[in-house]
Amino acid sequence: GAVVSQHPSWVICKSGTSVKIECRSLDFQATTMFWYRQFPKQSLMLMATSNEGSKATYEQGVEKDKFLINHASLTLSTLTVTSAHPEDSSFYICSASTLLAGGTDTQYFGPGTRLTVL
Amino acid sequence: DAKTTQPTSMDCAEGRAANLPCNHSTISGNEYVYWYRQIHSQGPQYIIHGLKNNETNEMASLIITEDRKSSTLILPHATLRDTAVYYCIVGPTGRRALTFGSGTRLQVQP
């Protein structure tokens, strides 16, 4: 199956600092990637859709100036949490879709990045 | 996207088949049924998907009713490593963002 990686797998930072999370599709190209967030004991919630070469589309309630998304190439999207605060502590997960043999787009997810803001 | 309903939790004995049901009565004609699972503190793992025919791969089988209003994911021989939250998701294609519900927490018992 297709592989999506994320880096780092976990990060601890001080309040007020910025953190960058990378999402890479390792063996396929993805014009669209997605960023999700998951709080403890909750399900995944879509934050934004990342489009290669254009601006990201953010879900309602997600601050675009706080969560900066850059999709500079067909294999890399980055999420930068700016001026992080403790309430931004969460599990951040990216995904990308690719066409499987048989002709159906399927999304594959990265392993996630656990962010803890002190 | 159509909404899905899944039991909150299920138990299964190791080595037995695990049958996870999902109701999606408002599914539309161009929507697929996708199954993912999430093991604790990991990203969701793709399992299988289908449109109207039953599907099987190395991980599981997907049985979709003829009216497509419900489906069942079958893990033929559950192991302890299959303990996870299983999500049934309905959507038109994998190119769109997926809407995750609460899923079914499957606990495989030794």
Torsion of CA B101, A85, A60, A56, to 10 degrees: -100
A2-32: burial string, b at 16+ Cβ within 10 Å, e else: bebebeeeebebeeeeebebbbbbeeeebeb
Of A36, A43, A98, nearest to B102 by CB-CB distance is A43
Residue A97 confidence (pLDDT): 84
Residue A105 confidence (pLDDT): 80
End-to-end CA distance of chain B: 37
| Cross-chain residue pair B32–A104, CB shorter than 8 Å | yes
* B94 and A107 Cβ atoms separated by less than 8 Å: yes
- Among candidate residues B42, B11, B18, the one with its CA nearest the CA of residue B105: B11
C-alpha angle with apex B85: B63 to A96, nearest 5 degrees?
80
Residue B84 confidence (pLDDT): 98
- Among candidate residues A37, A35, A75, the one with its CA nearest the CA of residue A53: A75
Of B41, B94, B101, nearest to A107 by CB-CB distance is B94
Of A46, A49, A105, nearest to B93 by CB-CB distance is A105
Q: What is the mean pLDDT of residues A86-100?
A: 91
| Cross-chain residue pair A43–B103, CB shorter than 8 Å | yes
How many Å lie between the alpha carbon of B102 and the closest alpha carbon of chain A? 6
Is the CA virtual torsion B92, B94, B95, B100 positive or negative? Answer: positive
pLDDT tens-digit readout, B2-21: 699 999 999 999 999 999 99
Residue B39 confidence (pLDDT): 96
Confidence of residue B95 (pLDDT cuts 50, 70, 90): confident
